[in-house]
Structure 1
Amino acid sequence: MHPAPLHPVPDEEHARIASDTFRMLADPTRVKILWALFQQESSVNALAEAIGATPAAVSQHLSKLRMAGLVQSRKEGTFAFYRASDSHVHRLLAETLSHAEHVTGAAAGDDPHGY
Protein backbone atom coordinates (compact mmCIF):
# COMPACT_ATOMS: atom_id res chain seq x y z
CA MET A 1 0.00 0.00 0.00
CA HIS A 2 1.36 3.43 -1.00
CA PRO A 3 1.06 6.45 1.27
CA ALA A 4 -1.36 9.18 0.20
CA PRO A 5 0.21 11.94 -1.91
CA LEU A 6 0.95 15.23 -0.15
CA HIS A 7 -1.21 17.07 -2.68
CA PRO A 8 -4.15 15.65 -4.59
CA VAL A 9 -3.86 15.23 -8.34
CA PRO A 10 -4.84 18.54 -9.95
CA ASP A 11 -8.22 18.82 -11.58
CA GLU A 12 -8.50 19.42 -15.33
CA GLU A 13 -8.70 23.22 -15.10
CA HIS A 14 -5.62 23.57 -12.89
CA ALA A 15 -3.65 21.07 -14.97
CA ARG A 16 -4.55 22.99 -18.14
CA ILE A 17 -3.53 26.34 -16.65
CA ALA A 18 -0.21 24.89 -15.48
CA SER A 19 0.37 23.34 -18.91
CA ASP A 20 -0.46 26.63 -20.65
CA THR A 21 2.04 28.45 -18.41
CA PHE A 22 4.77 25.95 -19.26
CA ARG A 23 3.90 26.34 -22.95
CA MET A 24 4.44 30.11 -22.67
CA LEU A 25 7.80 29.48 -20.99
CA ALA A 26 8.85 26.89 -23.58
CA ASP A 27 10.52 29.49 -25.81
CA PRO A 28 13.99 30.89 -25.01
CA THR A 29 13.09 34.38 -26.26
CA ARG A 30 10.03 34.53 -23.98
CA VAL A 31 12.15 33.35 -21.04
CA LYS A 32 14.60 36.20 -21.70
CA ILE A 33 11.81 38.74 -22.10
CA LEU A 34 10.09 37.69 -18.89
CA TRP A 35 13.33 37.65 -16.93
CA ALA A 36 14.16 41.16 -18.14
CA LEU A 37 10.66 42.34 -17.23
CA PHE A 38 10.95 40.90 -13.75
CA GLN A 39 13.97 43.19 -13.30
CA GLN A 40 12.27 46.36 -14.56
CA GLU A 41 9.52 47.75 -16.73
CA SER A 42 10.64 48.20 -20.32
CA SER A 43 9.70 49.29 -23.82
CA VAL A 44 9.80 46.97 -26.82
CA ASN A 45 12.97 48.58 -28.20
CA ALA A 46 14.80 48.40 -24.86
CA LEU A 47 13.79 44.75 -24.47
CA ALA A 48 14.93 43.96 -28.00
CA GLU A 49 18.33 45.49 -27.30
CA ALA A 50 18.64 43.77 -23.91
CA ILE A 51 17.92 40.28 -25.23
CA GLY A 52 19.43 40.56 -28.70
CA ALA A 53 16.24 40.20 -30.72
CA THR A 54 14.41 42.38 -33.22
CA PRO A 55 11.65 44.69 -31.99
CA ALA A 56 9.19 42.86 -34.27
CA ALA A 57 10.03 39.50 -32.67
CA VAL A 58 9.79 40.97 -29.17
CA SER A 59 6.40 42.52 -30.01
CA GLN A 60 5.05 39.15 -31.18
CA HIS A 61 6.24 37.42 -28.02
CA LEU A 62 4.88 40.21 -25.81
CA SER A 63 1.50 39.84 -27.47
CA LYS A 64 1.39 36.14 -26.58
CA LEU A 65 2.62 36.78 -23.04
CA ARG A 66 0.03 39.52 -22.56
CA MET A 67 -2.80 37.28 -23.81
CA ALA A 68 -1.62 34.63 -21.34
CA GLY A 69 -1.73 37.18 -18.52
CA LEU A 70 2.00 37.00 -17.82
CA VAL A 71 2.78 40.61 -18.76
CA GLN A 72 0.89 43.88 -18.51
CA SER A 73 1.36 47.08 -20.44
CA ARG A 74 0.74 50.75 -19.91
CA LYS A 75 0.77 53.63 -22.36
CA GLU A 76 2.73 56.80 -21.83
CA GLY A 77 2.07 59.10 -24.73
CA THR A 78 2.86 57.11 -27.87
CA PHE A 79 5.05 54.60 -26.00
CA ALA A 80 4.02 51.30 -24.42
CA PHE A 81 5.86 49.94 -21.40
CA TYR A 82 5.65 46.34 -20.28
CA ARG A 83 6.10 44.63 -16.94
CA ALA A 84 5.84 41.07 -15.72
CA SER A 85 2.64 40.49 -13.79
CA ASP A 86 2.87 37.16 -11.99
CA SER A 87 5.11 36.58 -8.96
CA HIS A 88 4.41 32.83 -9.10
CA VAL A 89 5.86 32.71 -12.61
CA HIS A 90 8.84 34.75 -11.40
CA ARG A 91 9.60 32.11 -8.75
CA LEU A 92 9.08 29.31 -11.29
CA LEU A 93 11.39 31.00 -13.79
CA ALA A 94 14.04 31.73 -11.14
CA GLU A 95 14.03 28.11 -9.99
CA THR A 96 14.20 26.83 -13.57
CA LEU A 97 17.11 29.13 -14.44
CA SER A 98 18.87 28.06 -11.26
CA HIS A 99 18.37 24.45 -12.35
CA ALA A 100 19.85 25.33 -15.76
CA GLU A 101 22.95 26.72 -14.03
CA HIS A 102 23.24 23.49 -12.05
CA VAL A 103 22.84 21.32 -15.16
CA THR A 104 25.51 23.27 -17.04
CA GLY A 105 27.98 22.67 -14.22
CA ALA A 106 28.00 25.97 -12.38
CA ALA A 107 29.56 25.57 -8.94
CA ALA A 108 27.16 25.45 -6.02
CA GLY A 109 26.69 28.92 -4.60
CA ASP A 110 28.34 30.48 -7.64
CA ASP A 111 25.29 32.02 -9.29
CA PRO A 112 26.50 34.77 -11.66
CA HIS A 113 22.97 35.74 -12.68
CA GLY A 114 21.47 36.13 -9.23
CA TYR A 115 18.71 33.56 -9.68
Structure 2
Amino acid sequence: MADHPHPVDAERVRRARERVPGAADVERSTAILALLADPTRARVLHALDVVEELCVGDTALALGITEDAAGYALRVLRTAGLVSRRKAGRVVFYRLADGFPEPLLEHCLRHLSALAATGEDDGQDD
Protein backbone atom coordinates (compact mmCIF):
# COMPACT_ATOMS: atom_id res chain seq x y z
CA MET A 1 0.00 0.00 0.00
CA ALA A 2 1.34 3.43 -0.92
CA ASP A 3 2.29 5.56 2.01
CA HIS A 4 1.17 9.09 1.59
CA PRO A 5 -0.03 11.46 4.28
CA HIS A 6 -3.44 12.45 2.98
CA PRO A 7 -5.91 11.57 0.27
CA VAL A 8 -5.79 13.66 -2.87
CA ASP A 9 -9.58 13.44 -3.10
CA ALA A 10 -11.07 12.50 0.27
CA GLU A 11 -14.62 12.12 -1.11
CA ARG A 12 -13.55 9.64 -3.77
CA VAL A 13 -11.51 7.69 -1.26
CA ARG A 14 -14.55 7.48 1.04
CA ARG A 15 -16.86 6.35 -1.79
CA ALA A 16 -14.36 3.75 -2.96
CA ARG A 17 -14.02 2.35 0.56
CA GLU A 18 -17.80 2.14 0.91
CA ARG A 19 -18.46 0.52 -2.47
CA VAL A 20 -15.52 -1.76 -3.18
CA PRO A 21 -16.34 -5.34 -2.17
CA GLY A 22 -14.29 -6.97 0.54
CA ALA A 23 -11.36 -9.21 -0.27
CA ALA A 24 -13.32 -12.41 0.48
CA ASP A 25 -16.14 -11.42 -1.88
CA VAL A 26 -13.72 -10.57 -4.66
CA GLU A 27 -11.83 -13.80 -4.08
CA ARG A 28 -15.05 -15.80 -4.58
CA SER A 29 -16.03 -13.89 -7.71
CA THR A 30 -12.60 -14.24 -9.29
CA ALA A 31 -12.64 -17.96 -8.50
CA ILE A 32 -15.94 -18.26 -10.38
CA LEU A 33 -14.57 -16.26 -13.29
CA ALA A 34 -11.52 -18.55 -13.35
CA LEU A 35 -13.90 -21.50 -13.72
CA LEU A 36 -15.44 -19.78 -16.73
CA ALA A 37 -12.01 -19.16 -18.23
CA ASP A 38 -11.81 -22.86 -19.08
CA PRO A 39 -13.37 -23.37 -22.54
CA THR A 40 -14.84 -26.79 -21.71
CA ARG A 41 -16.52 -25.60 -18.53
CA ALA A 42 -17.84 -22.48 -20.26
CA ARG A 43 -19.27 -24.61 -23.08
CA VAL A 44 -20.89 -26.97 -20.59
CA LEU A 45 -22.61 -24.02 -18.91
CA HIS A 46 -23.75 -22.74 -22.31
CA ALA A 47 -25.18 -26.16 -23.17
CA LEU A 48 -27.05 -26.39 -19.88
CA ASP A 49 -28.41 -22.90 -20.39
CA VAL A 50 -29.71 -23.85 -23.84
CA VAL A 51 -31.27 -27.26 -23.13
CA GLU A 52 -31.85 -27.15 -19.37
CA GLU A 53 -30.27 -30.49 -18.46
CA LEU A 54 -27.95 -33.16 -19.84
CA CYS A 55 -26.31 -36.35 -18.65
CA VAL A 56 -22.53 -36.74 -18.95
CA GLY A 57 -22.71 -38.79 -22.16
CA ASP A 58 -25.08 -36.37 -23.87
CA THR A 59 -22.95 -33.44 -22.75
CA ALA A 60 -19.92 -35.10 -24.35
CA LEU A 61 -21.82 -35.75 -27.59
CA ALA A 62 -23.23 -32.23 -27.72
CA LEU A 63 -19.82 -30.64 -27.23
CA GLY A 64 -17.71 -33.13 -29.18
CA ILE A 65 -15.54 -33.98 -26.17
CA THR A 66 -14.79 -37.16 -24.24
CA GLU A 67 -17.07 -38.36 -21.46
CA ASP A 68 -14.12 -37.99 -19.08
CA ALA A 69 -13.74 -34.32 -20.03
CA ALA A 70 -17.49 -33.71 -19.70
CA GLY A 71 -17.66 -35.53 -16.37
CA TYR A 72 -14.70 -33.63 -14.97
CA ALA A 73 -16.10 -30.26 -16.07
CA LEU A 74 -19.49 -31.07 -14.55
CA ARG A 75 -17.88 -32.24 -11.31
CA VAL A 76 -15.84 -29.02 -10.99
CA LEU A 77 -18.90 -26.88 -11.74
CA ARG A 78 -20.99 -28.85 -9.25
CA THR A 79 -18.35 -28.47 -6.55
CA ALA A 80 -18.40 -24.71 -7.17
CA GLY A 81 -22.17 -24.68 -6.75
CA LEU A 82 -22.90 -23.63 -10.34
CA VAL A 83 -24.43 -26.94 -11.42
CA SER A 84 -26.79 -29.33 -9.64
CA ARG A 85 -27.73 -32.91 -10.44
CA ARG A 86 -30.64 -35.29 -10.22
CA LYS A 87 -30.66 -39.05 -10.57
CA ALA A 88 -33.16 -40.90 -12.73
CA GLY A 89 -32.40 -44.55 -12.16
CA ARG A 90 -28.77 -45.04 -13.10
CA VAL A 91 -28.52 -41.84 -15.14
CA VAL A 92 -27.45 -38.55 -13.56
CA PHE A 93 -28.69 -35.35 -15.18
CA TYR A 94 -27.00 -32.01 -14.66
CA ARG A 95 -28.52 -28.53 -14.84
CA LEU A 96 -27.62 -25.01 -13.83
CA ALA A 97 -28.02 -24.73 -10.08
CA ASP A 98 -31.11 -23.09 -8.65
CA GLY A 99 -30.15 -19.51 -8.00
CA PHE A 100 -27.44 -19.55 -10.68
CA PRO A 101 -26.50 -15.87 -10.69
CA GLU A 102 -28.50 -14.20 -13.48
CA PRO A 103 -25.81 -11.53 -14.04
CA LEU A 104 -23.25 -14.30 -14.52
CA LEU A 105 -25.56 -16.07 -16.94
CA GLU A 106 -26.51 -12.96 -18.89
CA HIS A 107 -23.24 -11.08 -18.97
CA CYS A 108 -20.54 -13.71 -18.73
CA LEU A 109 -22.14 -16.42 -20.81
CA ARG A 110 -24.55 -14.82 -23.23
CA HIS A 111 -23.20 -11.29 -23.69
CA LEU A 112 -19.51 -12.15 -23.86
CA SER A 113 -20.24 -15.03 -26.23
CA ALA A 114 -22.21 -12.73 -28.50
CA LEU A 115 -19.34 -10.24 -28.50
CA ALA A 116 -16.81 -12.98 -29.26
CA ALA A 117 -18.97 -14.32 -32.07
CA THR A 118 -19.25 -10.94 -33.78
CA GLY A 119 -15.65 -9.98 -33.15
CA GLU A 120 -16.80 -6.48 -32.26
CA ASP A 121 -14.68 -4.09 -30.31
CA ASP A 122 -15.96 -1.26 -28.18
CA GLY A 123 -13.89 1.16 -30.26
CA GLN A 124 -11.85 2.36 -27.32
CA ASP A 125 -8.10 2.16 -27.08
CA ASP A 126 -6.57 0.83 -23.89
- The verdict on a shared fold, with TM-score over 0.5 as the criterion, is yes
Choose the corresponding residue for 1:72, options 69, 84, 87.
84
Which residue number corresponds to residue 29 of structure 2? 18
Q: Using the alignment, how far apart are the partners of 2:115 and 2:30 within structure 1?
A: 19
The structural deviation recorded for 1:62 is 0.6
Moved more, 21-30 or 81-90: 81-90
Deviation at residue 53 of structure 1 after TM alignment: 0.3
| CA displacement, residues 47-94 of structure 1 (integer Å, 9 cap, x when unaligned) | 101111001110011110000001000000000000012143311211
In the superposition, the TM-score normalised over structure 2's length comes to: 0.74
Percentage identity across paired residues of the two chains: 32
Bigger Rg over Cα: 2
Deviation, structure 1 residue 100: 1.2
Q: Which residue of 2 aligns with 1:82?
A: 94
Q: CA RMSD in A?
A: 1.9
1:63 aligns with 2:75: yes
SS at match of 1:73: strand
Amino acid at match of 2:114: S
Count residues in correspondence: 104
TM-score, scaled relative to structure 1: 0.81
Match of 1:34 among 35, 45, 50: 45
Q: Which protein has greater RCO, CA pairs closer than 8 Å, 6+ apart?
A: 1
SS in 1 for 2:41: helix
From the two aligned structures, give the one with the greater helix fraction: 2
Superposed structure 1 runs of 4+ greater than 6 Å apart: none
Structure 2 counterpart of 1:95: 111
- Displacement after TM superposition at 1:19 (Å): 0.5
